[in-house]
Structure 1
Amino acid sequence: MLLRHSLPRSSTPSSWFSRLSPASVMPLRAKVTNSAFAATSRMSTATEPQIPKELPGDEPDDVLFSSLYGVRLVELNRPKKLNSLNGSMVRKILPRLKEWEKSQLANIVMLSGAGSKALCAGGDVAALALQNEEGPEGQKASADFFGLEYKLDHLIATYPKPFISVMDGITMGGGVGLSVHAPFRIATERTVFAMPETTIGFFPDVGGSFFLPRLDGEIGTYLALTSERLIGVQALYAGIATHYFHSSTLGNLTGRLSELVFPDHASLPERLDLVNRTMAEFQTGLPSLEEEPIQLGGSLRTAIDRCFSHGTVEEILKALERETEQKAWAQKTLETIAMRSPTSLKVTLRQLRVGKSWTISETFQREQQIAARFMRHPDFVEGVKARLMSKPPRQASWQPATLGEVTAKQVDEFFSLPKGEKPMQLLSEGDYKSYPHAHYALPSEEDIRKLVTKEMTRGDFRASWGGKEGVKEKVNEVMARRTVKSPEGVQWN
């Protein structure tokens, strides 16, 4: 008998996952280039990577694992801390994912957060800041945590089975790393996405070097430097999420996915396509554009591309000062950036510009080195204490205090591999330069350009995105902003 699990629209359980039938859920207990990174991004099989194991003192039950037929569920279980990620959680998840890789019974992996407030609000940076104050040993321990976290993110990005991240609630920092690289990312009406790292003297890590430059236009640069939030369906329009569902449908969706049977020799693309078609069954409509217009669209999007396309932070600030069409927005953005760590801003912009050429493996290897350098920099401890630990929050005292004091040499140091060190060994050999599953999200602006210029046929466009919610809205926004009508027809502008 096929099972369906429903969740009443009006209910507010601790999590949609907890509402699944107990009988059917079985607990399981820079311009900088360095050849050293490229040489090891294709991991040698001569030495097998060590799978992390739990350590004495790790928190019990901070991650819950369950099985619903062919679906394997991972639930981050620190709701009082908005499911913030720590080493204990990563050491539990990594071995389980590696185990499921080999299991013929495990068809799909779904990751969610306990409670209704967050998938994951980020890494437990308060604990890391206190650890850094202990000196070099504490700073190294913090850097080791980021390396462990990035290994998990890379494994998700290259996982050989369908992986679904449920971005229900706050999804920031470390929560973004657990979701944005998966082939399927579900946003709900409760999703709150942001990359707030420059606020605390850090940089948009967890693969931000890869996914942010690959968003449309300069959206990634804008999100990285300002920490702007995207709420609900805006995560879909921006390309962060691939699907948008009301949170009340998640229980039904999980039950339906558990019914799927994959052919024995089905390839990963075939399995992903089946999951995508199944998820389409749960489309219930997006909020109307009158109710929720596309946030990063229209004249604002044009201003974002115009102001954030420059090669230095100083040039971006000058462009914002000159902005006239979106003057109020530009002034607010200037005030926002002025509060950020100058070092973080310069490192972040460099990261986004050079990250366009990095592979997904090189991205995490390089980010591990950048993170280790930030653990030795005073801005991280100061930023975390000022913004997250002080009551009320205060403005941080950055060192250096101004953009002009941050030299190119200081920025270069974040992107160089220390002498004698090798890039971090990853737990998967998977690698690529562009997301192989990008077509499960809304079409990119480049896809729409190809349609307008007839580099892509209407048939091919419909084959990839026909019937998908949000396509019409995005195509109309891009067409209104980027095309003009002429006697020869519609022309890309």
Structure 2
Amino acid sequence: MPLRAKVTIPAFGTTSKMSTASEPQIPKELPGDEPDDVLFSSLYGVRLVELNRPKKLNSLNGSMVRKIFPRLKEWEKSQLANIVMLSGSGSKALCAGGDVAALALQNEKGLAGQQASTDFFGLEYKLDHVIATYPKPFISVMDGITMGGGVGLSVHAPFRIATERTVFAMPETTIGFFPDVGGSFFLPRLDGEIGTYLALTSERLTGVQALYAGVATHYFHSSALGNLTARLSELVFHDRASLAERLDLVNRTMAEFSTGLPSLQEEPIQLAGSLRSAIDRCFGHSTIEKILQALEKETEQKAWAQKTLETVSQRSPTSLKVTLRQLRLGQKWSISETFQREHHIAANFMSHPDFVEGVKARLMSKPPRQASWQPATLADVSADQVDKFFSIPKGQKRMELLSERDYKQYPHAHYGLPSENEIEAFARNNSSLQKSQSVVIRDFAAKWGAKEGVREKMAEVLARRTLTTEDGVQWK
């Protein structure tokens, strides 16, 4: 049996408290849930989940989550279901996020409304955790807008497809919230301080940039998706094949449908070069105040730093401080602890005035207006106020999850591009780097199965992190 969650915070206990007397209760549809907001279909061995609220950019609500749960659990046990693919209806979005406008209106009804909103987040996080620990190949198609709740349905899957229409962002600090849906786990595990930068600024990644940043594992032109699905439906797994063997077969099959990446002349890597160095320099600090000071002192990327200062200054001060704390702590959380901790953080935000104010100002006001945050400044947000988001009241239990599987690092990360740390380790231990960068790039790409994007990413890392001297190439 997989190990249960190890936790480091006394309030959470020492192990993940799963029910042993009976199976956890699977959420099911309720009277009044919307019809057809999720469509399910089968194509031989592939089971398809299609979010179907295109007019609302497939924004996620409780009705949709309750429909998906029983299907995933059913397919988990079915020998006929080989692969699960999740996508969004229409060409505009996988999912633009949770239906936060409905939650904000609900919160205004008082404690009962705030509890109902908290319950929705619990339901959503349980689904994200099931996807993150699913025992069969799971593919999320990030075609179109993939934000907030859509990120939770995609970034924890072993396979995440970006297309030319992908628009990825975690915009929660703009509405007085925090980058949830497992953001505490996946953001700190991106290269350098990319995750911190994306979380605090809500910066968008479009198309192939999601692949380069480590958010997506594959990039295809949207026109190839239909043929890819048909080919995957034909795969036959041996009865005794392990999950790793099944995933490897899916990965090899996906490689057959490669449509090529846009040229670097057409689409250079966005978070690269001196900009990427500035991001790591400025966003690596332990407090928001120090990050802002670093941005003020930045000279190499002065225009970017000034724009970023203006962006961050519009965000909720409470959200900024809670988010930075969340990212630093999340580096050590397991995937299970992540969702349990985030459930408690979300509950605190449901009773905080910034969430309702932020949603109304940014999403419900026409035109959008600047929110009036409470507290209004970083100086007014005390350490005690931030601590409240991360401490559990005495006697309160943490959320029960529906899967006992757990891990502290993504077990299938090798299906995406290599991390910067992996590139550095290989380059430092490869004597050919002293003679030729092209040789070491060739060798590393071969090790990574000639995956598209590996050469481009490694070239960028070497250009940024090495110097050419009389003695050869030296790592900075």
* TM-score class normalised by the smaller sequence: over 0.9
Q: Distance in 2 between matches of 1:402 and 1:356?
A: 27
In structure 2, what is the equivalent of residue 19 of structure 1?
Answer: none
Which of 223, 233, 242 matches 2:198?
A: 223
Structure 1 residue 36: Cα displacement? 3.9
Task: Name the SS of the counterpart of 1:397 in structure 2.
Answer: coil
Q: Distance in 1 between matches of 2:110 and 2:223?
A: 47
Answer yes or no: is the 8 Å Cα contact 2:11–2:391 preserved in 1. no
Q: Distance in 2 between matches of 1:351 and 1:182?
A: 21
Which of 450, 453, 458 matches 1:475?
A: 458
Mapping of residues 295-314 of structure 1, within 5 Å: 295-314=270-289
In structure 1, what is the equivalent of residue 255 of structure 2?
Answer: 280
Q: Distance in 2 between matches of 1:290 and 1:41?
A: 49
Q: Distance in 1 between matches of 2:32 and 2:392?
A: 32
Q: Residue 339 in 1 paired to residue 314 in 2?
A: yes
Task: Name the SS of the counterpart of 2:474 in structure 1.
Answer: strand
Number of residues paired by the alignment? 462
Which of 124, 134, 145 matches 1:149?
A: 124
Distance 1:66 1:306, change over 3 A: same
In structure 1, what is the equivalent of residue 29 of structure 2?
Answer: 54
Distance 1:73 1:414, change over 3 A: same
In structure 1, what is the equivalent of residue 366 of structure 2?
Answer: 391
Structure 1 residue 49: Cα displacement? 1.1
Deviates more, 1:300-309 or 1:32-41: 32-41
Structure 1 residue 456: Cα displacement? 11
In structure 2, what is the equivalent of residue 203 of structure 1?
Answer: 178
In structure 2, what is the equivalent of residue 158 of structure 1?
Answer: 133
Structure 1 residue 490: Cα displacement? 2.9
In structure 1, what is the equivalent of residue 408 of structure 2?
Answer: 433
Query: What is the CA RMSD across the aligned residues, in angstroms?
Result: 1.6
Q: Distance in 2 between matches of 1:38 and 1:292?
A: 48
In structure 1, what is the equivalent of residue 436 of structure 2?
Answer: none
Q: Distance in 2 between matches of 1:269 and 1:462?
A: 21
In structure 1, what is the equivalent of residue 221 of structure 2?
Answer: 246
Task: Name the SS of the counterpart of 2:103 in structure 1.
Answer: helix
Deviates more, 1:403-412 or 1:42-51: 42-51
Q: Residue 169 in 1 paired to residue 136 in 2?
A: no
Q: Distance in 1 between matches of 2:380 and 2:356?
A: 19
List structure 1 segments (4+ residues) > 6 angstroms apart after TM superposition. 455-460
Answer yes or no: is the 8 Å Cα contact 1:38–1:362 preserved in 2. no
TM-score by length of 1: 0.92
In structure 1, what is the equivalent of residue 43 of structure 2?
Answer: 68
Q: Distance in 2 between matches of 1:153 and 1:472?
A: 32
Q: Distance in 1 between matches of 2:17 and 2:186?
A: 20
Q: Distance in 2 between matches of 1:456 and 1:243?
A: 30
In structure 2, what is the equivalent of residue 406 of structure 1?
Answer: 381
Structure 1 residue 488: Cα displacement? 4.9
Structure 1 residue 41: Cα displacement? 2.6
Structure 1 residue 491: Cα displacement? 2.7
Distance 1:420 1:482, change over 3 A: same
**Deviation per CA, 1:59-78, whole angstroms, max 9, x where unpaired?**
00000000000000000000
Q: Distance in 2 between matches of 1:419 and 1:47?
A: 26
In structure 2, what is the equivalent of residue 485 of structure 1?
Answer: 468
Q: Distance in 2 between matches of 1:456 and 1:78?
A: 54
Q: Distance in 1 between matches of 2:430 and 2:378?
A: 43
Q: Distance in 2 between matches of 1:33 and 1:478?
A: 34
Structure 1 residue 218: Cα displacement? 0.2
> Counterpart of 2:181 in structure 1: which amino acid?
V
Task: Name the SS of the counterpart of 1:41 in structure 2.
Answer: coil
Deviates more, 1:294-303 or 1:447-456: 447-456
> Counterpart of 2:261 in structure 1: which amino acid?
L
> Counterpart of 2:454 in structure 1: which amino acid?
V
Deviates more, 1:263-272 or 1:447-456: 447-456
Answer yes or no: is the 8 Å Cα contact 1:203–1:344 preserved in 2. yes
Q: Residue 136 in 1 paired to residue 111 in 2?
A: yes
Answer yes or no: is the 8 Å Cα contact 1:213–1:353 preserved in 2. yes
Task: Name the SS of the counterpart of 1:283 in structure 2.
Answer: coil
Q: Distance in 1 between matches of 2:100 and 2:393?
A: 24
Answer yes or no: is the 8 Å Cα contact 1:307–1:319 preserved in 2. yes
Q: Distance in 1 between matches of 2:13 and 2:131?
A: 21
Structure 1 residue 489: Cα displacement? 3.8
**Deviation per CA, 1:265-286, whole angstroms, max 9, x where unpaired?**
0000100000000000011211
Structure 1 residue 44: Cα displacement? 4.5
Q: Distance in 2 between matches of 1:434 and 1:250?
A: 29
- Unaligned runs of 5+ residues in structure 1 are 1-31
In structure 2, what is the equivalent of residue 266 of structure 1?
Answer: 241
Which of 330, 333, 356 matches 2:305?
A: 330
Structure 1 residue 42: Cα displacement? 6.0
Structure 1 residue 486: Cα displacement? 4.0
Deviates more, 1:263-272 or 1:37-46: 37-46
Q: Residue 85 in 1 paired to residue 52 in 2?
A: no
Q: Distance in 1 between matches of 2:459 and 2:452?
A: 13
Q: Distance in 1 between matches of 2:317 and 2:97?
A: 22
- Unaligned runs of 5+ residues in structure 2 are 1-6, 433-439
In structure 2, what is the equivalent of residue 354 of structure 1?
Answer: 329
Q: Distance in 2 between matches of 1:488 and 1:302?
A: 25
Which of 91, 94, 102 matches 2:77?
A: 102
Distance 1:431 1:298, change over 3 A: same
> Counterpart of 2:141 in structure 1: which amino acid?
V
Q: Distance in 2 between matches of 1:313 and 1:158?
A: 33
In structure 2, what is the equivalent of residue 294 of structure 1?
Answer: 269
Structure 1 residue 484: Cα displacement? 1.8
Task: Name the SS of the counterpart of 1:450 in structure 2.
Answer: helix
